């Protein structure tokens, strides 16, 4: 039975990839652009699938009790590659560690890594990216960057406390920021058990970022 499910899933992914390929071909983009778009969309689909699986896994999920039992899947904005942007990263020299306030009233130690400059819908934006000092002690996460942000959807279509993005330090001064992979902190679903960094005011965007996970009651099965 497990084998049949895996075969079916593999066929579904292949079928979905073929449909996407046909769709991009209709738009008559150059072959390399078609290929890149397909790759990005499949990566976003993978992110969505893994996020849903995490919340359905009792050992990993922040959900408890009835919330865990009722959870079906996260709602997401429609995938929009306009929100997958190439940004210029300007590294902060001699950054000083600081205490970032958290949702529980405590703090966590971070340091500013740099500023990312990018354009969305013709408007220039800038956000600050950080490094967690505790994660820096783990070799696996030594190149990990933390990007918390709020936007005009916060408190309506998305969690009022904002959303997070995970990035990696690039080899040069260009970094890809894909807001389609934006997710909520655990405390959006369980404020009792989790202690989440609060988004600094400098990372409050005035524009709506209509990409990534949404925050609605439909993530529960009724």
Q: Exposed, middle or buried: residue 13 (CB in 10 Å: 0-12, 13-18, 19+)?
A: middle
Q: Exposed, middle or buried: residue 151 (CB in 10 Å: 0-12, 13-18, 19+)?
A: buried
Side-chain-facing half-sphere of 160: CA atoms under 13 Å? 3
Q: Please report whether residue 72 resides in a domain.
A: no
Q: Please report whether residue 54 resides in a domain.
A: yes
Rounded distance between C-alpha atoms, residue 129 and residue 114, angstroms: 6
Looking at the structure of the chain, the number of domains it has is 2
Q: Please report whether residue 68 resides in a domain.
A: no
Q: Please report whether residue 105 resides in a domain.
A: yes
Note whether 132 and 147 are within 8 A (CB).
no
Residues 39 and 147 in one domain: no
Domain with 45, as residue range(s), is 2-61
Q: Please report whether residue 70 resides in a domain.
A: no
pTM of the full predicted structure? 0.83
Q: 163-180 burial string, b = 16+ CB within 10 Å, else e?
A: bbbebeeeeeeebebbbb
Residues 169 and 109 in one domain: yes
Residues 99 and 196 in one domain: yes
Q: What does the pLDDT look like over 95-138, one tens digit per residue?
A: 999 999 999 999 999 999 999 999 998 999 999 999 999 999 99
* DSSP letter string, 154-167: BTTTB-TT-EEEEE
Q: Please report whether residue 73 resides in a domain.
A: no
Residues 57 and 85 in one domain: no
- Per-residue pLDDT averaged across 68-86, rounded? 95
Q: Give the Å distances, CA to CA, from 132 to 99, 144, 164.
A: 10, 8, 13
Q: What does the pLDDT look like over 3-12, one tens digit per residue?
A: 333 333 343 4
Residues 142 and 36 in one domain: no
Q: What is the pLDDT of residue 167?
A: 98
Closest CA to 110 of 95, 101, 97: 97
Q: Please report whether residue 71 resides in a domain.
A: no
Residues 160 and 54 in one domain: no
Residues 157 and 87 in one domain: yes
Q: What is the pLDDT of residue 69?
A: 92
Q: Please report whether residue 127 resides in a domain.
A: yes
Tell me the two tokens of residue 65.
């009790």
Q: Give the Å distances, CA to CA, from 56 to 81, 142, 162, 164, 196.
A: 27, 29, 22, 20, 21
Residues 143 and 47 in one domain: no
CA 118 to chain centre: 17
Residues 85 and 56 in one domain: no
* Dihedral of the alpha carbons of 86, 102, 150, 71, in degrees to the nearest 10: 100
Note whether 126 and 117 are within 8 A (CB).
yes
């Amino acid at each position: 039975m497990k084998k049949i499910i895996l075969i079916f899933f593999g066929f579904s992914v292949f079928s979905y990839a073929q449909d996407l390929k046909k769709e991009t071909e209709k738009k008559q983009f150059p072959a390399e652009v078609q290929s890149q778009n397909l790759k990005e969309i499949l990566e976003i689909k993978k992110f969505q699938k893994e996020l849903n699986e995490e919340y359905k896994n009792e050992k990993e999920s922040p959900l408890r009790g009835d919330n865990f039992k009722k959870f079906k899947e996260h709602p997401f904005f429609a995938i929009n590659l306009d929100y997958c942007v190439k940004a210029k990263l300007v590294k902060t020299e001699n950054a000083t560690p600081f205490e970032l306030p958290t949702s529980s009233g405590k703090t966590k130690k971070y340091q500013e890594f740099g500023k990312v400059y990018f354009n969305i819908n013709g408007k220039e934006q800038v956000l600050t990216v950080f490094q967690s000092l505790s994660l820096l002690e783990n070799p696996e996460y030594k190149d990990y960057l933390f990007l918390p942000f709020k936007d005009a959807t916060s408190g309506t279509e998305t969690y009022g406390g904002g959303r997070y993005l995970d990035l990696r330090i690039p080899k040069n001064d260009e970094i890809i920021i894909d807001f389609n992979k934006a997710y909520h902190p655990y405390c959006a679903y369980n404020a009792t058990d989790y202690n989440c960094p609060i988004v600094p005011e400098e990372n409050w965007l005035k524009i709506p970022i209509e990409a990534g996970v949404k925050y609605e009651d439909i993530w529960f099965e009724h």
